[in-house]
């Protein structure tokens, strides 16, 4: 013997609007198939993205920025202008400047973007899996215009009108060495590989083209700013550590060979410009000296010629000791003044006249000019012949010393410029990467898994929040203010019986006889017990079972409940009063006629309409022929007489009534019954449907007694809420 019954918690309905973690987890456990579905979709989507997206590669290079020039520091002041500290922040901006990146773009032709036209979504992924050594892949399904792997193209020059820059052109391979350049299917020009082609203001030079005929390539000529923006987007320059002076250059791109060549070009251009920038001062000074040396040579030659001419005409003149001393002093002062004038001219290329260095030089020059004026006054005291000879000899000596000084400095600057290596050096050149950095397939799949689970949970939460269906007895009691007399759990056996009944050749069977120890049957037994108490001292005992809408399970409850009353020793009658879609006769493999319609219309007697169900031993009245006016038949006085007579013949009469919201006669049946039960299917009927059904019954004068909650799913949610079904087996 089995005792089965529901145990319920009366707090669940009150908590429905609150957030409870355990309840939420229970809901997720019940709806795990939704979560699994979203997980599968998300994983497949991320896997598809990981396989089809263009891989991105990364390469890097290291550059050291030194604090001092590594040139010839022994040259003293001449090389001091070439030394100095270079801040890495400034060098980073120089590397990212248009001067460096623009030169790299021109060298590597980065302003010309060319790529094959692949089949949408999967074409590029398939092309990456083709071995380029095997040549261009054969096109599947005759799709010759798409690239399928193994194609290669190199365009060294592309000149187009300004209004076409940034627009997408199409290059179509016509044969092994011929191609066409198109703009929106209009041919701009035709050309051959290895030859310059011109036409309609456009010029192109295709150095290499390996592709099947009709294969197409997308071609874009970017302007300078656009190319700079694309290059900067993938370039990163950062200092390694703190104050190390080592810069790491990284470049991301879709082509491993191209990003390695581009980054090496950037590094070499930056190094060359750094060397030129470092030797710039020496070059400027050398240019100035080269311009002054011829003039000083002319002055020296002229002074020597004048002195020689004077000696020829006047003969040699012996200078006194005083004159010789004045000559040496005067020559030294003149030499110093000339040096200061030269230095002032050199500094004037870098500093303004108000600069402190320029002011100091000017101050020294003024002091020497004063000394020279004093010495000139002393020279005027010397005899005229000595004075004239002294002037000529002074001019020669000053010009010669100044010329030799500039000549020596020019030679020193040439050595310095030739030995300048700049204050930066390339430590590591860029390499061709072998593996992409993106997409990270494992990370993407993990992200897809997490995203799928989260989306599934969010969907379930939203679905539960937007689904107003009744889920448990507490909600049902709060809606109608009536008790729930039975909670019938979901029965797999009943589901199987219904499936068999749908087959025309199958014979129907009640759950009570098919599996008497089923949990749903035990719940119906508890309902039978409740009805027995309700029907004490009440005559006649007529029970109407209905539902708010079709699909509630009223026929299942009515038929099995009648069989249970019969098993309890009661003389029970089952009446199919659904004169619109009644189908209980099929459950018992009986004909629809004769039935209730024929009895009401006086075509048959009650005895003729009552048939005994052999398997269950149950008396049964079917609907009879479906009438065109079921409401008029049910509300007729003849039906009341029939119902009164049936109530007198049987201990209990159970009527399967049509849905309240689908048939007007349902309320009339309920008004004529002793007890009315409303069957509500869990998670199918809404509170609004139940409210409308109760309102219609009460307006018709019927008195609904209570509810039967049918098909309560065995779930974690209801287990959490306290709705368990316990079995007690007799051994």
Q: pLDDT tens digits for 195-206?
A: 999 988 899 999
Task: List the CATH number of the domain containing 618.
Answer: 3.40.50.300
Tell me if 310 is assigned to some domain. yes
- Which stretch of 220-229, 450-459, 460-469, 708-717 has the lowest confidence by average pLDDT? 708-717
CA atoms within 13 A on the CB side of 676: 27
> What CA–CA distance (Å, rounded) separates 90 from 104?
19
113-163 tens-digit pLDDT: 999 999 998 999 999 889 888 889 999 988 999 999 999 999 999 999 988
Q: Which domain holds residue 271?
A: 89-244+264-278
Q: Are residues 324 and 268 in the same domain?
A: no
Q: What per-residue confidence (pLDDT) applies to 317?
A: 54
Residue 646 in any domain: the answer is yes
Section 390-414 average pLDDT: 71
In a domain, 120, yes or no: yes
Q: Indicate whether 240 and 345 sit together in one domain.
A: no
Q: Does residue 316 share a domain with residue 305?
A: yes
Residue 642, in any domain of the structure: yes
Domain co-membership, 116 together with 140: yes
Distances (CA, A) of 395 to 23, 344, 402, 416: 110, 21, 11, 31
Average pLDDT along the chain: 82
Kindly state whether residues 446 and 363 are assigned to the same domain.
no
Is there a single domain that holds both residue 546 and residue 457? no
Domain assignment present for residue 100? The answer is yes
658 pLDDT higher than 80: yes
CA distances to 82, 137, 209, 389, 575 from 129, in Å: 54, 10, 20, 94, 72
pLDDT at 366 over 50: yes
| Claim: this prediction has a pTM higher than 0.85 | no
Angle (CA) 91 430 250, round 5°: 55
Last residue of a domain, one of 255, 278, 301: 278
Please state the rounded mean pLDDT for residues 180-194: 92
DSSP 249-300: EEEEES-HHHHHHHHHHHHHHHHHHHHHHHTHHHHHHHHHHHHHHHHHHHHH
Location of structure tokens 């044969």: 175
Q: Which has the minimum average pLDDT: 7-16, 198-207, 218-227, 468-477?
A: 7-16
- Whole-number Å distance between alpha carbons of 465 and 486: 26
| Same domain, residue pair 271 and 333 | no
- Residue 259 in any domain: the answer is no
Distance from C-alpha of 16 to C-alpha of 12, rounded to nearest angstrom: 6
Q: Let me know if residue 704 belongs to a domain.
A: yes
Rounded Cα distance, 652 and 563, in Å: 11
Do 181 and 316 lie in one domain? The reply is no
Q: What is the pLDDT of residue 571?
A: 92
Q: How confident is the model at residue 171 (pLDDT cuts 50, 70, 90)?
A: very high
485, 517: one domain = yes
3-state secondary structure of 89: helix
**φ, ψ dihedrals at 475, nearest 5°:** -65, -40
For residue 515, the cross-strand partners are none
Of the two residues 611 and 349, the one the predictor is more confident about is 611
pLDDT at res. 3:
43
* In a domain? residue 80: no
Q: Are residues 271 and 299 in the same domain?
A: no
Q: Are residues 502 and 644 in the same domain?
A: yes
Q: Based on the fold, state whether residues 225 and 293 are members of the same structural domain.
A: no
**Tens of pLDDT, residues 40-69:** 999 999 999 999 999 999 999 999 988 754
What's the total number of domains in the chain? 4
Residue 204 in 3-state DSSP?
strand
Segment 522-536 mean pLDDT: 92
């Amino acid at each position: 013997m089995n005792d089965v019954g529901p145990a319920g918690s009366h707090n669940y309905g009150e908590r429905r609007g609150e957030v409870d973690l355990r309840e939420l987890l229970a809901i997720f456990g019940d709806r795990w198939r939704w979560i699994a579905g979203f997980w599968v979709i998300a994983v497949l989507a991320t896997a598809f993205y990981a396989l089809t997206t263009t891989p991105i590669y990364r390469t890097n290079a290291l550059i050291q920025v030194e604090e001092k020039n590594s040139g010839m520091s022994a040259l003293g002041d001449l090389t001091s202008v070439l030394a100095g500290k270079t801040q890495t922040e400034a060098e980073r901006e120089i590397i990212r400047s248009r001067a460096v990146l623009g030169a790299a773009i021109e060298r590597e032709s980065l302003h010309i973007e060319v790529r094959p036209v692949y089949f949408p979504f999967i074409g590029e992924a398939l092309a990456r899996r083709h071995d380029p050594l095997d040549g261009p892949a054969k096109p599947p399904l005759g799709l010759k215009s798409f690239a399928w792997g193994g194609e290669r193209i190199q365009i060294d020059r592309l000149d187009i009108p300004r209004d076409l820059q940034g627009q997408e052109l199409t290059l179509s391979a016509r044969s092994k060495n011929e191609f066409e350049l198109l703009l929106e299917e209009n041919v701009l020009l035709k050309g051959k590989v290895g030859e310059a082609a011109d036409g309609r203001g456009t010029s192109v030079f295709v150095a290499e083209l390996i592709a099947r005929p009709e294969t197409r390539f997308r071609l874009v000529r970017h302007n300078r700013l656009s190319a700079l923006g694309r290059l900067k987007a993938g370039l990163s320059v950062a200092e390694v550590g703190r104050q190390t002076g080592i810069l790491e250059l990284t470049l991301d791109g879709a082509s491993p060979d191209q990003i390695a060549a581009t980054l090496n070009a950037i590094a070499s251009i930056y190094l060359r410009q750094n060397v030129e920038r470092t030797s710039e001062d020496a070059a400027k000074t050398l240019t100035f000296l080269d311009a002054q040396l011829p003039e000083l040579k002319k002055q020296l030659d002229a002074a020597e010629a004048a002195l020689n001419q004077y000696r020829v005409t006047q003969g040699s003149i012996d200078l006194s000791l005083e004159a010789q001393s004045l000559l040496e002093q005067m020559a030294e002062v003149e030499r110093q003044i000339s040096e200061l004038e030269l230095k002032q001219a050199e500094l004037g290329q870098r500093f303004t006249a108000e600069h402190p260095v320029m002011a100091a030089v000017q101050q020294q020059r003024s002091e020497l000019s004063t000394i020279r004026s004093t010495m000139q006054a002393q020279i005027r005291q010397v005899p005229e012949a000595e004075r004239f000879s002294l002037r000529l000899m002074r001019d020669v000596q000053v010009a010669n010393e100044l010329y030799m000084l500039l000549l020596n400095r020019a030679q020193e600057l040439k050595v310095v410029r030739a030995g300048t290596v700049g204050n930066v050096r390339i430590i590591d050149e860029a390499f061709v990467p072998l593996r992409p950095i993106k997409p990270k397939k494992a990370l993407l799949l993990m992200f897809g898994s997490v995203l799928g689970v989260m989306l599934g949970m969010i969907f379930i939460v939203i679905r539960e929040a937007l689904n107003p269906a009744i889920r448990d007895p507490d909600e049902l009691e709060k809606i109608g203010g009536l008790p729930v007399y039975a909670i019938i759990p979901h029965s797999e056996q009943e589901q199987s019986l219904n499936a068999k009944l749908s087959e025309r050749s199958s014979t129907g069977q009640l759950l009570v006889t098919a599996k008497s120890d089923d949990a749903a049957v035990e719940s119906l037994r508890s309902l039978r017990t409740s009805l027995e108490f309700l029907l004490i001292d009440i005559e006649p005992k007529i029970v109407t079972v209905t539902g708010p809408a079709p699909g509630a399970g009223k026929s299942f409850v009515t038929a099995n409940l009648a069989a249970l009353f019969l098993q309890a020793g009661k003389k029970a009658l089952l009446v199919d009063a659904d004169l619109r879609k009644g189908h209980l006769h099929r459950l018992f493999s009986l004909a629809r006629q004769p039935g209730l319609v024929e009895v009401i219309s006086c075509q048959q007697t009650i005895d003729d309409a009552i048939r005994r169900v052999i398997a269950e031993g149950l008396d049964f009245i079917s609907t009879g022929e479906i009438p065109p006016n079921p409401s008029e038949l049910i509300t007729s006085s003849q039906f009341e007489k029939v119902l009164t007579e049936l109530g007198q013949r049987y201990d209990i009469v159970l009527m399967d009534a049509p849905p309240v919201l689908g048939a007007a006669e349902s309320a009339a049946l309920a008004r004529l019954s002793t007890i009315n039960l409303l069957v509500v299917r869990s998670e199918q009927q809404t509170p609004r449907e139940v409210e409308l059904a109760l309102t219609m019954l009460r307006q018709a004068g019927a008195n609904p007694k209570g509810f039967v909650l049918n098909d309560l799913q065995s779930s974690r949610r209801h287990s959490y809420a306290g709705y368990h079904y316990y079995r007690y087996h007799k051994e």
